[in-house]
Chain A
Amino acid sequence: MEVNDLYTVKRNDNRMIYLLIFIIVLLLIVAGAVIFYLFSKVNNMQDVAAKRPQVKVERKLVVAEPVKKPVRAPEPATPTQAAPEPRTNKLATEDIATIVQMVMSQMQKTQKTDKPTKSEVEKLLKKETSAPAKDEMDDLFKEDELGESPATPSGSTDATDDIDSVINALGGMDVDTLEEKEQAIPDIQEETLVRAKKGKDSARAADNFNKVVVQSSGADEFSQLDTQLEQITQDNETNNYDKEAVKEVRERKNEMRTIVVKKGDTLMSIAKKAYGSSKKYAKILRANPGIIKNPDRIFIGQVLRVPK
């Protein structure tokens, strides 16, 4: 009997120990999950604002590469550098970069390693500058609420000059050895060509805007009050304040103009969309000084001020 009792007591003890170990392990897992959740939590200010869809950023070839090269190491024939040239420079640096990238991707597809022929580049140029330019501009600046007049498209290009410049830009590269290089201390020129990312700091960077767009619902006692009162008092005199307010409101409207960073945007492309000229990126930097010191610069979904 005694032996039995001892035996059962021992078995109970073991069971208890195993149970305890199981509970401890469970608690550890839960604690780990909680801590993991905490650290990956995005600290977004506004839950109410419409969330941007989670867009994956494709790993493209770094487009900035062909244009950066001439800026860093001066090569003999590099008309694509950002230094302003007095002669006809109808294609913007950025457009050339896009064309170069298109050519590179085509070359990779067709497994060619020699430079593209003039006809091929001509074809690409025609595609790039004629069709997109028209659509882009029309959509952007047509009848939006700001009442802007449609900007003229970038215009027809002088094919010979630009083909030469594109081919020369391609001349300095090999298809196979294009890799992302470590960026040194960034200067403004390079900053403007960096594509928008979706980083872990994106929410924090976007937080500086801190304005919520609300829908004014009509079903409210006050929403109709001012229209009703307006009708009653419409024969009132306007005083000096009312006249000055018109000017102030116009300025306010210009200052409140914003743009949302989309996938693939660079500071220069945003400047082009907002102001019609990619050279006006400095204006965006001045209106959003947070961009300059932030090493990741701009993020997809970030709202930037683009005052007129």
Chain B
Amino acid sequence: MKKIYEIFATSLLFVLFSTLLSASGDKVLVKISDKTSYFYVDQRGQRVKVGRIQDTDNRLTDDFTKTSRTCPPYCIQPIVAEKGVETIGELELIEAVKNPNTLLVDARPKEWFMLESLPGAVNIPEKLTRSKKSKPKLFKALKERGLIIYGNGLWSPEAVDFIKNIIRLGYPASKLRYYRGGLQGWKILGMTTVIHAKQQVKQ
């Protein structure tokens, strides 16, 4: 009798343990990669959970579905921004931002950045890198960190122009990485974005 009870107790414990184990894993349908469902980013003191939209029927319906903006200035961008600068994708970006010394730079104009941007990004508009006068302040702030630069995406020239400008100013090309997908690539994957200025209708 005692043995039966013991067996029953141990099997119950086993069942409980396995439920707890399975409970800890989220049931995420749309993951980022095999191993990653979501990750956390520090947005200047605020912790943002970044993941993908789970609705498999979701579609983009805003201006990021436009196919043909006037070129110039919105021309198709090359894969290689500048010699010596690595072009990366989303997975590499996610790995790279784990390093606290790497800076994610949004090269678009400020108003564009405030409306929507990648989580954890900092805004340095490309316009401010054109002149030699900005070199001292800019380089002092950047401190020769590793930078990942992005713009609106493969149809927009901000990131490539930014890279060309700061290489001309003297920043080491090996420290730069170019995320060609930009906000377009990020949004079409349903990834979390960040809003700095609400555009809400008052009720």
Contacts and interface: CB of A to CB of B under 8 A. Distances in A.
Contact of A289 (B61, B158, B197): B61
Interface in A204-257: 204, 207-208, 210-217, 220-223, 225-226, 228-230, 232-233, 236, 238-242, 244-245, 248-249, 251-253, 255-257
Given A222-B124, A233-B127, A144 B202 contact: yes
Interface in B1-45: 1-2, 5-6, 8-9, 12-13, 15-16, 19-20, 23, 26-27, 38, 43-45
Contacts of B190: 210
Contact of A20 (B9, B54, B109, B116): B9
Interface string A168-198: 0000000000000000000000000000000
Contacts of A290: 55, 57-58
Nearest to B138: A229
A20 B4 CA distance: 11
A120 B158 CA distance: 65
A160 B113 CA distance: 54
A91 interface: no
Contacts of A35: 19
Interface string B121-142: 0111101101101100110010
Given A24-B9, A305-B62, A307-B62, A30 B16 contact: yes
Contacts of A287: 61-62
A286 B61 contact: yes
Given A20-B6, A20-B9, A213-B198, A221 B48 contact: no
B113 to A, nearest CB: 9
Given A48-B48, A240-B73, A244-B73, A214 B43 contact: yes
Contacts of B26: 43
A297 interface: no
Contact of A249 (B16, B53, B62, B115): B115
A179 B71 CA distance: 60
Interface string B186-203: 000011111111111111
B72 interface: yes
Given A46-B49, A228-B137, A229-B137, A240 B124 contact: no
B201 A259 contact: yes
Interface of B: 1-2, 5-6, 8-9, 12-13, 15-16, 19-20, 23, 26-27, 38, 43-49, 51-55, 57-59, 61-63, 69-70, 72-74, 108-112, 115-116, 119, 122-125, 127-128, 130-131, 133-134, 137-138, 141, 157-158, 161, 190-203
